[in-house]
């Protein structure tokens, strides 16, 4: 899966959510960076990794966080590579517990995902898997699959997290947001402005206009 902006997960469940997301975007190259507060030496290592072509066909992934306790000079070093990285080589996945404590210049260069509560890695992987399946079904016009996934497969998942994951699944390939994909993305982002979402509202967003619930 391709994406052209750095991903920044934030909130109480950001670490678990970002870790579960890693395998969907590439091959993790190293141990996590910044677990004790990102330092300038680590930031320079990240830049070197992002400029180097990893072995194998899959793009590499670097996992960085928590950025809310990163040194200011370290995040300053990262800015240019977050703006200009090649998603076909190495992709950054970032996380923070408190978005408000992350440098504004970092925040402005990222796609964001709110992670409201901590959950197991298995739960996060299940949420992400169903989100991608829902996006594929909705954008291919398979309404029965959408209903099956949302009413059965997602019955034990946190709905707002599912909405955010589905919107993220679309946004990571932003340049391909055309036609049905763009219409779905707009509906999900509009719904995401609320603090909570019902299963009926989410189903309506995935099915689009002209469907009876």
142-151 pLDDT per residue, tens: 999 999 888 8
| Highest mean pLDDT (candidates 69-78, 107-116, 194-203) | 69-78
Task: Indicate whether 209 pLDDT > 50.
Answer: yes
In this predicted structure, what is the pLDDT of residue 137? 92
Q: Where in the chain is the domain with CATH 3.40.50.300?
A: 6-114
Q: Cα(151)–Cα(143) distance, rounded to whole angstroms?
A: 12
pLDDT at 34: 94
Higher per-residue confidence, 114 vs 177: 114
pLDDT value at 176 more than 60: yes
pLDDT digits (tens, 9 = 90+) for 96-126: 999 999 999 999 888 888 887 656 667 777 7
Other C-beta atoms closer than 10 Å to the C-beta of 89 total: 15
Confidence of residue 173 (pLDDT cuts 50, 70, 90): low
- The CATH architecture assigned to 6-114 reads 3-Layer(aba) Sandwich (3.40)
Alpha carbon distance 32, 55 (integer Å): 19
**Contact predicate 66/97, CB 8 Å:** yes
The values of phi and psi at residue 33, to 5°, are -105, 140
Lowest mean pLDDT: which of 146-155, 171-180, 188-197?
171-180
Burial, 186: exposed, middle or buried (Cβ in 10 Å; 0-12, 13-18, 19+)?
Answer: middle
């Amino acid at each position: 899966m391709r994406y052209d902006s750095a991903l920044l997960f934030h909130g109480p469940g950001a670490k678990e959510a970002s870790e579960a997301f890693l395998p969907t975007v590439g091959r993790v190259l190293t141990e996590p960076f910044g677990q004790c507060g990102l330092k300038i030496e680590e930031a320079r290592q990240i830049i070197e990794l992002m400029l180097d072509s990893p072995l194998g066909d899959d793009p590499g992934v670097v996992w960085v966080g928590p950025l809310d306790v990163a040194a200011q000079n370290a995040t300053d070093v990262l800015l240019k590579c977050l703006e200009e990285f090649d998603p076909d080589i190495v992709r950054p996945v970032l996380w923070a517990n408190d978005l408000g404590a992350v440098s504004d210049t970092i925040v402005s260069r990222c796609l964001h995902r709110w992670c409201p509560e901590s959950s197991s890695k298995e739960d996060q992987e299940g949420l992400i898997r169903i989100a991608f399946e829902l996006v594929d079904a909705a954008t291919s016009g398979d309404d029965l699959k959408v209903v099956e996934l949302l009413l059965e497969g997602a019955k034990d998942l946190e709905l707002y997290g599912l909405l955010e994951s589905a919107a993220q699944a679309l946004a990571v390939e932003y340049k391909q947001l055309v036609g049905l994909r763009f219409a779905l993305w707009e509906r999900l982002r509009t719904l995401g402005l609320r603090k909570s979402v019902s299963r009926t509202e989410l189903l309506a967003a995935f099915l689009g206009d002209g469907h009876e619930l």
